Amino acid sequence: MIISIAADHGGFSLKQHLVAFLERHGHELLDRGCSSEDSVDYPDYALLVVRDILAGHADFGVLVCGTGIGMSIAANRHAGIRAALVHRDEYAKLAREHNDANIICLGGRFFSPTEAERMVTTFLSTPFGGGRHERRIKKLDAC
Ligand code: RB5
């Protein structure tokens, strides 16, 4: 899969870990930054991943900031984006099954690399459930 990934300074360390992890597992990574722990603004980086998804350059996105909250708010302002703020493995699964989420948002200050690996792996490997969920997804961008 092609994965677009970005972080702000609060998510930089976890993002670096996830880039290496996902590449080891055969994914192609579009690493959109940031490139250090110097302070940056999360909306700038969310937008880079949003653009990759909407342009069809990536299959899924991963966004990491301190909490994941700012990234999820920023990404979800764009029609066609369903960014899920995930705190546990079951959320990652349901975000895909029920919400057809195309971006996973994580809090770099709250999860270990191993926890994040598990949530991202579940997210990327769980198919959308379709059916009644399809009808609801369509309503998201109808307003
Ligand atoms: C940066 O300090 C922090 O506000 C940011 O990483 C994120 O948690 C915002 O939602």
CATH of the domain at 132: 3.40.1400.10
| Average pLDDT over all residues of the chain | 98
Beta bridge partners of 11: none
C-alpha radius of gyration, the chain, whole number: 14
What's the length of the chain?
143
Q: Which domain holds residue 127?
A: 2-142
Q: Does the Cβ of 70 fall within 6 Å of ligand 1?
A: yes
DSSP 11-67: THHHHHHHHHHHHHTT-EEEE----SSS---HHHHHHHHHHHHHTTS-SEEEEEESS
Residue 143 has pLDDT above 70, yes or no: no
**Is the separation of the CB atoms in 41 and 8 below 8 Å?**
yes
110-141 residue pLDDT tens = 999 999 999 999 999 999 999 999 999 999 98
From 67, 76, 77, 85, the mutation candidate for ligand 1 (largest count of ligand atoms within 8 A of CB) is 67
Q: What is the pTM (predicted TM-score) of this model? A: 0.98
pLDDT in tens, 42-72: 999 999 999 999 999 999 999 999 999 999 9
Is 67 a pocket residue for ligand 1 (Cβ < 6 Å)? yes
Please indicate whether residue 68, judged by its CB atom, sits closer than 6 Å to ligand 1. no
pLDDT in the model for residue 21: 98
CA–CA gap between residue 74 and residue 48 (Å, rounded) = 11
Q: Which amino acid is at 68?
A: G
Residue 22 CA to residue 37 CA, distance in Å, equals 21
Element housing 135 (H / E): helix 132-140
> How many structural domains are present in the chain?
1
Using CB atoms within 10 Å of the CB of residue 123, give its burial: 0 to 12 exposed, 13 to 18 middle, 19+ buried.
buried
Residue 142: predicted pLDDT: 86
